[in-house]
Amino acid sequence: MAVKVKPLVLEGKTVRLEPLCQEHAQGLYNRGRFEPDWAYMPRACFVDAADARHWIDEALATSEQMAFAIVDLARGRVAGSTRYLNIRPAHRSLEIGWTWLGQDYQRTGFNTESKLLLMTHAFERLACARVEFKTDARNLRSQAALERIGATREGVLRKHMIVQGGHERDSVYFSVIDEEWPQVKRRLQSLCER
C-alpha cells in the first residue's frame, strides 16, 4: 500500500496535532522566540510574528511535507510544531522532524505523545514500512529522546547540511521499521501513562 498523506488532525489525551496554518503564527512566535531552543535547528528562533508567518508559508509551500501545530488540549494554545517530511510513497516511508516545543512544554510528555500519534498514523493508517528521524550530532538531548522511545540509531551523515551560522552539520539518523512498531508502540504508550 502506498503512503498517501492528506490533511488530518491527530488527537491524544493531552495533545492535538492539527494542520499548520497562519492562525498559529502568534502562538508559535510566543513559544518559539527563546534562542537556545533553536541552537540545533536549521534556522534561528523567531524574531517576530511576521517571521513566524513566513516560516509557516515556507512549511506549507513544500509538497513533500505535512506540517502540524502541536496544541495543548487543556490550555487550548499552541505548544510547538512538528512535521512529516520526505514523504516517499513508493518506498512506504517518511520522516518525522522539525519538531520543537516551547519552554513550558519541554520534558512534559508532549513530545512523546506527539510521536505516538504520528507514528501510529504512519504505521497503522499509511502502512509505512519505515519512519525515520534525523538530528544534529551535537544535539545529545534529541538523540537520547529518540533512543528512549525505541528508535534505532543507524549512523551519521557527515557534513550533511549547512545550518545557521554556516555550521557544517553532521546528522545522526534513527529509524523505526514496521516489524519493530508493536514493541515501540507499547513503549510509547507506557511512557505516555507516566
| Residue 127: predicted pLDDT | 97
pLDDT band (50, 70, 90) for residue 193: confident
Say whether 44 sits in a helix, a strand or coil.
coil
Q: Tens digit of pLDDT for each residue in 148-157?
A: 999 999 999 9
- Indicate whether 2 pLDDT > 50: no
Cell representation of residue 135: 538530528
DSSP single-letter state for residue 107: T
Question: Is 172 among the domain residues?
Answer: yes
Higher pLDDT, 5 or 13: 13
Question: Is 70 among the domain residues?
Answer: yes
Question: Is 86 among the domain residues?
Answer: yes
Contact 14, 109 (CB under 8 A): yes
Number of domains in the chain: 1
| Residue 6: predicted pLDDT | 59
| Residue 1: predicted pLDDT | 39
Mean pLDDT of the chain: 93
- Indicate whether 4 pLDDT > 80: no
Question: Is 2 among the domain residues?
Answer: no
Mean pLDDT for 124-138 is: 97
- 103/89 Cα distance (integer angstroms): 35
Question: Is 156 among the domain residues?
Answer: yes
Mean pLDDT for 95-109 is: 92
Question: Is 1 among the domain residues?
Answer: no
Question: Is 4 among the domain residues?
Answer: no
Place of cell 543507524: 154
| Residue 87: predicted pLDDT | 94
Mean pLDDT for 86-90 is: 94
Contact 177, 153 (CB under 8 A): no
| Residue 107: predicted pLDDT | 85
Domain containing residue 97: CATH number: 3.40.630.30
Question: Is 162 among the domain residues?
Answer: yes
Q: 131 lies in which domain range?
A: 10-193
Sign of CA dihedral 106, 164, 118, 139: negative
- 107/115 Cα distance (integer angstroms): 14
Is the pTM higher than 0.85? The answer reads: yes
